Structure 1
Amino acid sequence: MRRTQKTPHRAAGEETALAAAWRASAPGLAAVVVFGAAVNLLKFALPLYLLQVLDRIPASRSVETLALLTLMALAALSAGAALDIVRRRMLTHWGYWIERRFGPELVARGLGGGASARRPDLDAALSDLARIRAFVTRSLAAWLDVAWVPVFLLGVALVHPWLGGLALAACLALVALAVVQDAVSVEPRRASGAAGRDAGALLAVADRHRESIGALGMSPALAERWSNAAAGRLAERERLDRDRALFRGLMRALGQAMRLGMIGLGMWLFLRGELTLGGVFAARVMAGFGFSVVEGAARSSRALGAARRGHAAVRAALAVPPAPAPDLHPGTDRAALRVEDVTHRHPGQRRDLFRRLSLRVAPGEMLLISGEGGMGKTTLAHLIVGIESPRHGRVFLGDTDVAILGPEDRARLIGYLPQHVELFAGSVRENIAGMERGSLVDVTDAARLAGVHDLILGMPEGYDTPLSPETFDRLSGSQRKRIAIARAFHGAPRLVLLDEPWANLDAPSRKIVEAGLRHLKAAGAIVVVTQSYRSGSLHRLADTHLILDADGFGFAPPARAERPARGALRRVK
């Protein structure tokens, strides 16, 4: 029966990471709202100042009153500006706090865990988090101020209803322009993004294979392909920029028309005796405040939409707390590896790579997996270390399913060399110790077993020599492979799996690694090695030999595995 993974659910009363962050942020957000209210209320100092100065000072001709009103208005506006700076700095701090708070957790969930872990799309999750941070730091203040637009328009209407109607109509027209702009830019943005991803993917692949491209003279053809993809992106971006210039010009024209209309209509009402001169300019200023807030929100409407989608995606990724690492059954670190009734094929394939495969490898024994390319050696390796789950059956280390091992237990129990070796930016020591500082004794022991100790000592800073994408090419394929093998040997793991370890290794290096494998077997480790071609030395080391081919799989004693008789293999089709 096919094993299914149950999706974990949040327990009753259990707080999600996002809910905890909202709770921790509540006092600061309350302060931001209070400061925003103060900032917008203090803006009314200017229209009130205009009412008093234009309506009362000409009649009273009091210089003292004029000076006092001016000082009071300046104090109010200065206080509002200071509070606005504090509010925006608080939002900036909160935005970066969000990214620092959830970035590591998203990376840990995206990279960690075995086959049973629920892993979000890491690039997409981090992009969503960056969009949230960008909105909070740049645009959230403008959207918080939108709540005060009706207050500004109400102030205009109290001066005169006709002026209030004109200001409201201008704001509604501005919203309509923003909606139309967003609608007409959807398709160009989608096409531009797709073309940009295609061009970026082409460059990323080309950069990884620069040597082959140069040797084969492929650069003109690839440059033309990139140019085609980039041309499509540039065409769509040009269309977007033209539309943006058009709508921004229309918005500016609308704002100027509204301000001109407020003055013109206000003066007409003044001439009719329905409005004072101070009221004309006070209404004009309040209408300008409301229009400016709507304009700022309209220009950041895309940022709001991206932040809302990002929040939904991050909330989904963090909705369920990570499952706690299971308690290991007693004796797991001394138990055998068991593959029980495993059947597997990749999605979209009709033929099983292997069907009802069962085997047992005791501590101190070695399993050798042989087969030509495409027969499933690497896939079986993934199943054994728990980074994939079989369609049917299970893989155990003792009584523990390897697919549910937590990161700490996995790092302690399993050493793994992937078929395609990767080094990471950091020191040589950190690369061997799994990107931790690690005990120098354990690191040097692993390096000696992999035959790379002397090479590392010859580097400029020894084990502290920094590695980076710029310096990786200075190491040969054999040197990179041996550093990665040392990583698999580090800490004397109980299960060591090497996927195609002989690739890029010369004969002396192979002999050193063979000696390391013998040492690990003698120490009680379970060793699993895959190979595409026959190696007599690995055959002699192996206690069990599994052969994968188009007919299924079969077992043969190592001494007879070089050319096994057909009758000597038990095959499953």
Structure 2
Amino acid sequence: MRTLDSKSDQDIVTKSLKSLQSYFWYATLFSASINLLMLTPIIYMLQVYDRVVSSGSMSTLTMLTLLMMLLLLSSGGFEWVRTRLLVAANVRLESDLREPTSKASALNSLYSGNPTASMGAMHDLIALRQFITGSGAFAIMDAPWVFIYIGVMFIFHPYFGVAALIAALVMICLAVITQKVTGERLKDANLLSQKANISFQNSLKNAEVIQGMGMAANIRGRDGVLQDDAMNEQAFVSVAAGRLSAITKSFRLISQSLLLGLGAYLSLNQQISPGMMIAGSLLLGRALAPIDILVANWKGFIAATDQLSRLKKNLSGFPRERARMDLPIPVGNLSVNQIVVTPPGSEVASVRAVNFSLEAGEALGVVGPSAAGKTSLARAVLGVWPLRAGTVRLDGADISQWDRDKLGPYLGYLPQDIELFDGTIAENICRFSEEDSEKIVEACQKAGVHEMILGLPEGYDTLINPYSGSLSAGQRQRVGLARAIYGNPKLIVLDEPNSNLDDQGETHLLKALSQMKDAGSTIIIITHRTSILSLVDKLMILKDGMVARFGQRDEILQALSAKSPNITQIQNQS
């Protein structure tokens, strides 16, 4: 059986980063080689000043120049290898975390009731990958060499070493000040920016309502407040970081110039050679460069830390499942035992103590007033929403014990809001699995949508998207029905399947469901329109999340017939 591996998934980001250690260690080794070879121009200049110029030896100059070129070419090769290593680590990180991040984002969105709840998780992964191959990561690898370069400067002259050490400590202090000044404000700015983006995305999803009722100015004003707050925080952080970065760069240039003056003083006093005077200034610039880059990339470093933290948090809440033992193909026997369902984001149960069972090939009609818990029941039966209590069993196995990917083809679902995805009509109907033309056409013929699809410009290859207006609400519902019955699933749940259908569409719906029943499919139909109830075997009336009545359809209708002439009409139709 597959069970939740909570500990494994809580550490999945850490484990993935640990698996990249070899890449980072090799990259660090190549960084060491690169930084050693960065001494080549300085040593070359020393030799030219102190040996070649004084001796006038062309052969020495030629050999030194050739050696210098060879070493710098090697440095370029090492730089290329280091970049390739980090790119490989980047790809490995994406490969390890893309699927769990995608799954966790989808589950978080589903369980929170907010479609955009985890839209930032994948963005965090992408941004983290970009940081790994950015200049900030290289600066971190080069940072330890600051003190090695300072040690070399002590070899040149103790005064050089002391001056370089003071300069490095001052720049490190500036980096700490940058963190103190911008750290918390940057986190706040990122949170505000994420909140503003989510609000804007939600507004775009309701563009039709906004435009139709003239709400654009009001919505822009509301979103504008959030965006202004985020912008102000980001502006403060950028100004503060920019100011400190400018101070750091200026200090570095001043330090190099002052060191050149110190070198001139020492050279005049015959304590160092003229070559060391120039080399010391260049070496200080090389020593302070990683600190300068770290300060300039401090925002990116803090952002990467936040992204890593958020990624761990997102993945820790949704443990990955271990591999399950394959269960037999379901027959369709359904048992719902005392289930309690709480909608995401709510503390109040919408379904309470619901209990029923269906044999394969039976159909259940679920009716009741609005907010009675009908849709919550549908989602719970399919395992879309988790149960607070009780069980839903398919062929005796808890629905949570099935592998969702393997169980999916045997489930059919038509929600109230028909969601079609970017792709062709054929891809949508076959659920983006490998296209089987015969099964696609069969499902569409049952749903009565085959002729309509053939009438489209590209037929089954017509491209659609969630926001396309190429299909009417009724057409989308019939395409959704074809998707729900594709492959003759064993359990079919339909939520208001005839809400957008005309008489012809409803006739096709009844015919399709009758065929599915005859084929042994178990069907649950949630509806407000009573005409479809002539198809069902059992009837459930929900009220306030609880079963008010349940039993054979004719028995329930007979008990209610005195209260509604529509009920009598259904009995006559059946």
Residues 343 and 390 in structure 1, CA contact (< 8 A), matched pair in contact too? yes
Answering whether residue 454 of structure 2 is matched by residue 426 of structure 1, we say: no
Residue of structure 1 equivalent to 2:398: 401
2:51 corresponds to 1:52: no
Query: Quick one: which of 123, 126, 131 aligns to 1:127?
Result: 123
Inter-CA distance 93–444: structure 2 relative to 1 (3 Å threshold): same
Given the superposition, is the C-alpha separation of residues 42 and 182 from structure 1 closer, same or farther in structure 2, using an over 3 Å criterion? same
Q: Superposed, which structure 2 residues align to 1:366-515 within 5 Å? A: 366-469=363-466, 472-515=468-511
Q: In the alignment, is the contact (CA less than 8 A) between 1:88 and 1:141 conserved in 2?
A: no
Within 1, Cα distance between the matches of 2:108 and 2:235?
44
Match of 1:521 among 517, 521, 526: 517
2:543 aligned with 1:549, yes or no? Answer: yes
Q: Give the structure 2 partner of residue 571 of structure 1.
A: none
In 2, are the aligned partners of 1:263 and 1:281 still within 8 Å (CA)?
Answer: yes
User: Runs of 5+ in structure 1 lacking a partner?
Assistant: 569-573
Deviation at 1:124, TM superposition (A): 4.0
- Which aligned pairs between 1:132-531 and structure 2 lie closer than 5 A? 132-138=128-134, 139-311=136-308, 314=311, 317=315, 322-328=321-327, 330=328, 333-346=330-343, 352-469=349-466, 472-531=468-527
Match of 2:534 in 1: 540
Residue in structure 2 matched with residue 75 of structure 1 by the alignment = 70
Q: Deviations over 1:273-305 (max 9, x none)?
A: 222211222222221111002212232334334
Q: CA deviation at 1:52?
A: 1.6
CA distance in 2 between partners of 1:386 and 1:114 (Å): 15
Change in Cα spacing, 1:500 to 1:28, as seen in structure 2 (3 Å) is same
1:357 is paired with a residue whose SS is strand
Measured in 2, the distance between the counterparts of 1:411 and 1:204 equals: 29
- Decide whether aligned partners of structure 1 residues 195 and 128 sit closer, same or farther in structure 2, where only a CA change above 3 A counts: closer
Structure 1 residues 19 and 392, CA gap change in structure 2 (3 angstroms):
closer
Amino acid paired to 1:542: V
Q: Contact (CA 8 Å) 2:3, 2:321: kept in 1 or not? A: no
Asked whether the equivalents of residues 335 and 357 of structure 2 are also in contact (C-alpha less than 8 Å), the reply is yes
The TM-score, its normalising length taken from structure 2, stands at 0.87
SS of corresponding position for 1:474: coil
How many Å separate the matches in 2 of 1:37 and 1:551?
67
| CA–CA distance in structure 2, aligned partners of residues 137 and 563 of structure 1 | 72
Moved more, 73-82 or 163-172: 73-82
Q: Distance in 1 between matches of 2:194 and 2:118?
A: 16
Note closer, same or farther for the CA distance 1:417–1:109 as it changes in structure 2 (3 Å cut). same
Q: Does the C-alpha gap of structure 1 residues 562 and 188 become closer, same or farther in structure 2, counting only changes over 3 Å?
A: farther
Mean alpha-carbon deviation: is it higher for 70-79 or for 148-157? 70-79
Distance in 2 (alpha carbons) for counterparts of 1:297 and 1:17:
24
Unaligned 5+ residue runs, structure 2?
Answer: 564-574
Please state whether the residue corresponding to 2:143 is helix, strand or coil. Answer: helix
Determine helix, strand or coil for the equivalent of 1:355: strand
The equivalent of 2:553 in structure 1 is: 558
Structure 1 residue 198, shift from structure 2 partner = 4.1
Q: State the SS of the aligned residue for 2:421.
A: coil
For the 8 Å contact 2:364–2:524, the answer to whether it is kept is yes
Tell me, what secondary structure is at the counterpart of 1:98? helix
Structure 2 distance, partners of 1:244, 1:20, is 32
Please report how far the alpha carbon of residue 524 of structure 1 lies from its aligned counterpart in structure 2 after TM superposition: 0.5
One-letter code of the match for 2:157?
Answer: H
Equivalent position SS for 2:30? helix
Give me the whole-angstrom Cα distance separating, in 1, the residues matched to 2:146 and 2:117: 39
Amino acid at match of 1:322: E
Q: Secondary structure at the match of 1:303?
A: helix
Confirm whether residue 34 of structure 1 aligns to residue 29 of structure 2. yes
1:359 alignment partner, SS class: strand
CA distance in 2, matches of 1:351, 1:46: 72
CA contact (8 A) 1:388 1:403 kept: no
Residues 335-385 of structure 1: CA deviation (Å, up to 9, x unaligned): 410011223344786764443321111111111111122111111111100
Relative to structure 1, the CA distance from residue 219 to residue 423 in structure 2 (aligned partners, 3 Å threshold; closer, same or farther) is same
Structure 2 match to 1:63: 58
User: Aligned letter for 2:57?
Assistant: S
Which amino acid in the other structure matches residue 544 of structure 2?
Answer: A
Structure 2: how far apart are the matches of 1:233 and 1:203?
A: 13
Q: Deviations over 1:535-569 (max 9, x none)?
A: 1x32211111111113832225434656844999x
- Secondary structure of the residue that 2:144 maps to in structure 1? helix
Worse overlay, 202-211 or 365-374: 202-211
* Contact kept? 1:10, 1:321, Cα under 8 Å: no
What is the percent sequence identity of the aligned residues? 26
Is the CA contact 1:429–1:437 (under 8 Å) kept in the aligned structure 2? no
Deviation at 1:528, TM superposition (A): 0.4
- Of 513-522 and 401-410, deviating more is 401-410
Distance 1:265 1:566 in 2: 105
- Measured in 2, the distance between the counterparts of 1:214 and 1:157 equals 71
Task: Please provide the CA RMSD for this pair.
Answer: 3.1
Shift of 1:9: 5.0
Question: For 1:113 and 1:413, how far apart are their aligned partners in 2?
Answer: 24
Cα drift, residue 429 of structure 1: 0.9
Contact between 2:249 and 2:292, CA under 8 Å: does it hold in 1? no
- In structure 1, give the amino acid aligned to 2:375: T
Q: Output the TM-score relative to the length of structure 1.
A: 0.88
1:69 is paired with a residue whose SS is helix
Cα 1:563–1:250 shift into 2, 3 Å: farther
